[in-house]
Chains A and B, each alone.
Chain A
């Protein structure tokens, strides 16, 4: 197959799986992060991140092609230290080894819940962002300059990521989601815990002011739904949820604080035709019954847990990925690595709704023995064929699995997000001829900047 044919073939594999059809073979995804790719090219990771260019990133990817075997382009998306520098971010910082991480911070006080619940977005803009980013906690002029530099640096890097992804997907025939159809989706409890109160403060709130936590999660729904609106809705795209705190909560607390708004966000996305991709951090086996209520076709990337139990309970309804322990590729023998792949394929592949993927992506060179990695993926690819391709995974219909919640929430609004109709009252067009041009330009640049808030 030439690259174009390969791309079409791979796109068909994903299209089938995402549509609930048994594909010719199950798709396979590499387990390689951008951090690994930088190091694989013998590049100084610290300096490389501060000096990304399209050429430097293309060069790194050309080298990693030696070991890639999967069907999907491994995204070049990375945390951008240049943007973080202008933010003076406290929530994303570089360790002494050059890896950017999310240290524990608390950016909201226990007695600020009422203000938060009243209008989460305004509170985030006014209080939380300056605390997270001392670069924005200055006089208005300095803050405006810092924000402009942060947005420009982010957009420069975003353009590199997009161009590299597009070029290499074409050149090597990778499947890639259509531009604008894949987006990060925050969910209320993790958003409140990770970025606002902090992982170590939220357990106090659960005990001391439980109703405020519930109310804050509910108040976040309209904003997070709006924030997760991808410009392009596509079966081949997704809203990606990176979960965090669920396995650290008791089941009772999970049911009270975590799951209700999480589930609603997923259904609200599904209502507009957008599938979710959920990375279930740590072990979600305790929550397997709760997960049966997610919309049909939700893609679940599991880190740990009992794959048989997930297959039995969710295999017909959800697409399952993950479970393969990446650490085995470093410590195991080649045969042990292959045996593990066989074990998981035997459990998860029958009946479809399966994509082969590792439990996490390799971060440092030391995470992998590349011989094991290649041998495992080649074994997986050789054993990925279905003899009943084209059959339906289930006769159940996706639309019947979606519960409508969107009407229960008000439309997201903030005084900081001004429509053109409002704006033109203070800055009217000098002539009707240019009103549509002004409107178009206004919306274009507003929509470019808002994601950075």
Chain B
């Protein structure tokens, strides 16, 4: 079995060459599905290090984007030995950029970091009307609804979405987190969300707190 701690550290250091070399070597040994799941978990732990370094100001958004790509490549490399079973999900998130807003970079960073933390994420995409969130929440019954937006007018659309969830009788069955450049404590209160963040790593921690 490979050195899982060293692999976690390499992911944390964003050392793509080393990570891929280790993973290719591991796959070539035709490992068991159980061992492969341990390797996935080690890579995911590396993402948690990336998130911590981002929060400390040592990594920046560009590093988070690269980390997401690195993790995707790692999982793709491991796919042949992962089998059909998948690791248990810690919870599900319905995620989208709200109506009128076409920005998705922050949403995508949050998505890849949430997936690395074990969440199953249903990504609705950009410019999503309140009704699309309501329909998906009805279908999935997620733990968390994540709404993203960059423009200040996204705040209005976030409020509309929360109101629509209330009207559909779904508000109390989910936790709602909003994220993006314009969100603030005041906006969060006005919108009626449970939490807000401008920091994807922090957002994932908030969601983890909800599923403990």
**Which A residues fall within an 8 A CB radius of B?**
93, 95-99, 101-104, 199-200, 202-204, 206-208, 245, 247-250, 253, 327, 331, 363-364, 366-367
Q: Which residues of B contact A202 (CB under 8 A)?
A: 62
Interface string of B89-119 (1 = CB under 8 A from A): 0000000000111111100100000000000
Q: Mark B48-66, 1 if CB is under 8 A from A, else 0.
A: 0000000000111111011
A110 CB → nearest B CB, Å: 11
16 A-B pairs whose Cβ atoms sit less than 8 Å apart in the complex: A95-B99, A96-B127, A96-B129, A97-B100, A97-B157, A99-B153, A101-B102, A203-B62, A203-B66, A206-B66, A245-B62, A250-B59, A250-B62, A331-B186, A364-B156, A366-B153
Residue with the greatest number of chain B CB neighbours at <10 A, chosen from A102, A253, A364: A364
Once bound together, how far apart are the Cα atoms of A363 and B156, in whole Å? 13
Alpha-carbon distance between A250 and B100 when the two chains are bound, in angstroms: 31
Does A203 contact B63, Cβ atoms closer than 8 Å? yes
Asked if residues B99 and A366 are in contact (CB atoms below 8 Å), the reply is: no
Contacts of B108 in A (CB 8 A): 200
Q: Which of A101, A206, A245, A247 neighbours the largest number of chain B CB atoms within 10 Å of its CB?
A: A101
| 8 Å CB contact of A367 from B59, B63, B152, B184 | B152
A207–B153 CB distance below 8 A: no
How long is the Cα–Cα vector from A236 to B102 in the complex, in angstroms?
Answer: 35
The answer to whether A253 and B62 touch across the interface, beta carbons within 8 angstroms, is: yes
Judging by beta carbons under 8 Å apart, are A103 and B152 in contact?
Answer: no
Taking the closest CB of chain B, its distance from the CB of A199, in whole angstroms, is 6
Most chain B CB within a 10 A radius of its CB, from A98, A199, A203, A250: A203
In the complex, chain A residues whose CB is within 8 Å of the CB of B35: none
- Contact A327–B182 (Cβ < 8 Å): yes
Find the residue from A98, A200, A204 having the highest chain B CB count within 10 A.
A200
Interface contact B104-A103, CB-CB below 8 Å: yes
Is B191 part of the contact surface with A, judged by Cβ < 8 Å? Answer: no
Within the complex, the shortest CB–CB distance from B7 to chain A, in Å, comes to 18
Cβ contact within 8 Å between A249 and B62: yes
Interface size class of B (residues with CB under 8 A): 20 to 34
A103 pairs with B126, CB closer than 8 A: yes
Beyond A101-B101, A206-B62, 11 extra complex contacts between A and B, CB < 8 Å: A97-B153, A99-B100, A99-B153, A103-B102, A103-B103, A199-B105, A200-B65, A207-B14, A331-B184, A363-B152, A363-B153
Contacts of A207 in B (CB 8 A): 14, 16, 66
Residues of A within 8 A of B102 (CB): 93, 95, 101-103
> Which residues in chain B, 1-36, are within 8 Å of chain A measured between CB atoms?
14, 16
Instruction: Give Cα A111–Cα B155 distance, bound, in whole angstroms.
Output: 39
B194 on interface, CB distance cutoff 8 Å: no
Question: How far is the CB of A369 from the nearest CB of chain B, in Å?
Answer: 13
Instruction: Tell me whether A249 and B60 are in contact (CB under 8 A).
Output: yes
Given the complex, which residues of B lie within 8 Å of A199, measured CB to CB?
65, 105
Q: With both chains docked as a complex, state the minimum distance between the C-beta of B8 and any C-beta of chain A, in angstroms.
A: 19
CB-CB under 8 A from B155, the residues of chain A are 366
Q: List the A side residues contacting B186 at CB < 8 Å.
A: 331
CA A202 to CA B62, docked complex, whole Å: 8
Complex: how many Å from CA A248 to CA B182?
A: 17
Evaluate whether A99 and B151 lie within 8 angstroms (CB atoms) in the complex, with A200-B108, A204-B69 already known.
Answer: yes
In the docked arrangement, what's the CA distance between A248 and B66, Å? Answer: 12
- Provide the bound-state CA to CA distance between A329 and B105, in Å: 28
The 10 closest A-B pairs by CB, nearest first: A97-B100, A248-B61, A203-B62, A364-B153, A103-B102, A203-B66, A101-B102, A95-B100, A203-B65, A331-B186
Q: Which residues of B contact A98 (CB under 8 A)?
A: 100
Interchain CA distance A96-B154 in the complex, whole Å? 12
Nearest CB of B to A192, in Å: 13
- B-side contacts of A253, CB under 8 Å: 60, 62
Q: Of residues 124 to 159 in B, which have CB atoms within 8 Å of A's CB atoms? A: 126-127, 129, 151-153, 155-157
Cα A23 to Cα B91 in complex, Å, equals 61
Please, which residue of chain B has its CB at the minimum distance from the CB of A97? Answer: B100
B62 / chain A contacts, CB cutoff of 8 Å: 202-203, 206, 245, 248-250, 253
Q: Is the CB of A247 within 8 A of B153?
A: no
Shortest CB-to-CB span from A380 to chain B, Å, is: 22
Contacts of A206 in B (CB 8 A): 62, 66
Which of B59, B69, B99, B152 lies in contact with A96, CB distance below 8 A? Answer: B99
Among A206, A208, A245, A248: residue with most chain B CB under 10 A: A248
User: Cα distance A95–B129 when bound, in Å?
Assistant: 11
User: Among B58, B60, B126, which residue has its beta carbon within 8 angstroms of that of A248?
Assistant: B60
User: B60 touching A104 by the CB < 8 A rule?
Assistant: no
Smallest CB separation, A251 vs chain B (Å): 9
Question: In the bound complex, what is the Cα–Cα distance between A367 and B182 (angstroms)?
Answer: 11
CB < 8 Å: which of B16, B105, B126, B156 contacts A200?
B105
Q: Check A366/B66 contact, CB under 8 A, given A103-B102, A104-B103, A208-B16.
A: no
Known contacts A95-B127, A96-B99, A327 near B152 by CB under 8 Å: yes
Which residue on A lies nearest to B184, using beta carbons?
A327
Give the complex CA separation of A102 and B126 in angstroms. Answer: 12
Given the contacts A104-B103, A200-B108, A331-B186, A366 and B152 also touching, CB distance less than 8 Å: yes
From residue B192, how far is it (CB to closest CB) to chain A in Å?
16
Residue numbers in B under 8 Å from A366 (CB-CB)? 152-153, 155-156
CA A366 to CA B65, docked complex, whole Å: 32
Q: Which of A248, A327, A363 contacts B151 (CB 8 A)?
A: A363
